[in-house]
Amino acid sequence: MALTDADNLKIFAGRANPSLSKRICDYLQIPLGRGATELFPDGEVMVRVDEDVRGRDCFVIQPTCHPVNQHLMELMIWIDCLKRASAGRITAVMPYFGYARQDRKDSGRVPITAKLVANLLERAGADRVVSVDLHAAQVQGFFDIPVDHLNAGPIFTRWFKSLAVDNFVFVSPDVGNVKRAQVYAQQLGGELCIIDKRRRSGTETDAAHIIGDVRGKTVLMTDDMITTGGTITKAVEILQDHGAKDIYLTATHAVFAGPAMERLAKCPFTRIAVTDTIPLYDRAEAIADRLTTLSVAELVGEAIHRIHHNKSISALFSDKGDDSARR
């Protein structure tokens, strides 16, 4: 028996991550909505919905990963298509929210592109947004519609427990991730260390100092994303220089852009775990023997189920979660 009514709930998939969309539908035990994205010879995108969505609760799953602009435009066209087809509610499910790092003016004459993206999605007709581990939580405030910010923490907590390591310490690769590492340390025990990161540019990072003791210990290091790999690989070098034993890495979003694979292939970490918010395909072959991919399908699927049935999302992340909100 399906977790929810397939007639009133419709889930459509953009082209950015079709495998994740299928896993989410498998979790909800409903079929993927019938529709397709097509390209005109000049590269223009055309979306077609092949079933009745009038009055339905519609979700479009589309992370805005590479190519970011193409996937963002496709998402907005999906939203517009559903809006013009009289969908009852349209939720943009963006497991990875591109442009989230451009969330403030950190120098003169630069845009706040995360706010622009929020405006575009609202103007296209989105009634709600769902995302996983936004780079900056304040991005939620850029929207005038509800935003459900899902936390992949429970997924990584299970993975950390499965490692069954002792004498471990949680490490934040920069000051911005201290809170994330602190949550794991509180839940699983262990000490907390911080690496002082100094950024040279958008592609280069210096990580020069470590606050805490990692000598002879197993390091569990967490970050929200790995883009070029500069922060993580520099951090691993520092940790090894300070006598760390084994080094386990996690990152929600495997952006893996530019020199990331070259850097990670040479990096002496023990193992890395990422989620499937962004599809890897064959991009991570260089580290395949040290890579674990964890799925956010159950997390996102459960969030969709609760949104559709007007149940609490925050209960998903509460130690006293409302199990009655589940099926």
Q: Which residues are catalytic?
A: 197
Task: Assess contact for 151 and 303: CB atoms under 8 A.
Answer: no
The label of the residue with tokens 């990963």 reads 65
Q: Which of 211, 225, 218 is nearest to 175 (CA)?
A: 211
Structure tokens at 167: 């004498």
Q: Which of 21, 30, 22, 72 is nearest to 51 (CA)?
A: 30
The label of the residue with tokens 């939720």 reads 91
List the Cα angle 283/272/205 in 5-degree steps: 80
| Distance in angstroms (rounded) separating the CA atoms of residues 131 and 64 | 11
The label of the residue with tokens 């397709």 reads 36
List the Cα angle 93/96/101 in 5-degree steps: 125
| Distance in angstroms (rounded) separating the CA atoms of residues 36 and 18 | 11
Packing angle between helix 113-124 and helix 68-84, nearest 10 degrees? 30
Structure tokens at 215: 């000598």
CA 12, 22, 281, 272 dihedral sign is positive
Residue 241 to residues 5, 104, 207, Cα–Cα distance (Å): 56, 34, 12
CA atoms within 13 A on the CB side of 47: 24
